[in-house]
Amino acid sequence: MTVTAILSALPQEQGSLVQALQNPERIEHAGRSFWRGQLHGQLLVLALSGIGKVAAASTSASLIERFGVQRLVFTGVAGGLGAGVQVGDVVLAREFLQHDMDASPLFARWQVPGHAVRMACDESLTAMLSIAASHGLALGNAGFDHEKTPPRLHQGLIASGDRFVSTAAASQQLRQELLAAGHDALAVEMEGAAVAQVCHEHGLPFAAIRTISDRADDSAHVDFTHFVRHVAGPRADAIVHAFLRLLPK
Ligand code: ADE
């Protein structure tokens, strides 16, 4: 049976999936804990990458080479960049780009040599995550409803890089530079594009879904930990459980 990896950067982003695993087995490898087990009739490996692209790439390579996973799903939080992408909304990745990659003029700005500038996610896994997302959105925002509107689902481009974007100036500059080249990034985070690249190199399907924890501005750090624990974690739980029920056996 196909083995599925569920990957997050931080423990709080994983919700209580480890506790839900049947026949859980913890394996230490490459300085990380990997949890093998079953859930909803699926063989799973749960892993935490830690923060950043190298950590995410290393964890993805371990999942594939050491644990034999054949599909990878990332769940976690991101900063909102796109117009109307609010705290508490959910962004489903259709494509990823590395916003801190620049080998120009040898290669196009943001292009990882040997890859397209924008790396696509797997369509069928992404379609299943999109259905599963509604179960997470139904939970609401647990008191974080700043906008007083129900959380919404957005789908499109996510930009990844080794930087926590925490000023309005940095976030505007990032958004404008990308937009000027036709890249309308909805959200920014620090791992997804690296996982996408590793999956592309191995020919494996990858999908990612992120709850918006902040607007990547001067208050990006405020309430971050509380939000991840109380909103993003339960969201990830609801989405991943629904997703696993949709996966073919
Ligand atoms: N993940 C969540 N918020 C983020 C931000 N503002 N910048 C980068 N990664 C993030």
Is residue 177 part of the annotated active site? The answer reads no
Q: What is the DSSP letter of 141?
A: T
Cis peptide before 105 (omega within 30 of 0): yes
Residue-wise pLDDT for 211-231, tens only, equals: 999 998 888 777 788 888 888
Averaged pLDDT score across all residues of the chain? 94
**pTM exceeds 0.85:** yes
Sign of CA dihedral 124, 125, 128, 133: negative
40-49, 94-103, 139-148: the lowest-pLDDT one: 139-148
pLDDT single digits (tens) 229-242: 888 899 999 999 99
Q: Whose CA is nearest to atom 9 of ligand 1?
A: 189
Name the residue at shortest CA distance from atom 2 of ligand 1: 78
How many angstroms does the Cα of residue 190 sit away from the middle of ligand 1?
7
User: Which ligand 1 atom sits nearest the alpha carbon of residue 220?
Assistant: 6
Does 219 sit in the ligand 1 pocket, CB within 6 Å?
no
Q: Which residue has a Cα nearest atom 1 of ligand 1? A: 78
At residue 22, the 3 state secondary structure works out as strand
Alpha-carbon gap, residue 234 to 43, rounded angstroms: 21
> Tokens 């489903």 sit at which residue?
92
What is residue 229's predicted lDDT score, i.e. its pLDDT? 85
Residue type (1 letter), 71? R
Domain of residue 238 covers: 3-246
Which of the following is catalytic: 189, 191, 214, 237? 214
Instruction: Tally the domains of the chain.
Output: 1
Residue 147 annotated among the catalytic residues of the structure:
no
The type of residue at 30 is A
Nearest to 188 by CA among 36, 26, 76: 76
Please answer whether residues 73 and 210 qualify as being in contact, where contact means their C-beta atoms are separated by less than 8 angstroms.
no
Tokens 């494509």 — which residue? Answer: 95
Ligand 1 contacts CB of residue 211 (under 6 A): no
The CATH number covering residue 10 comes to 3.40.50.1580
What's the confidence (pLDDT) of residue 142? 60
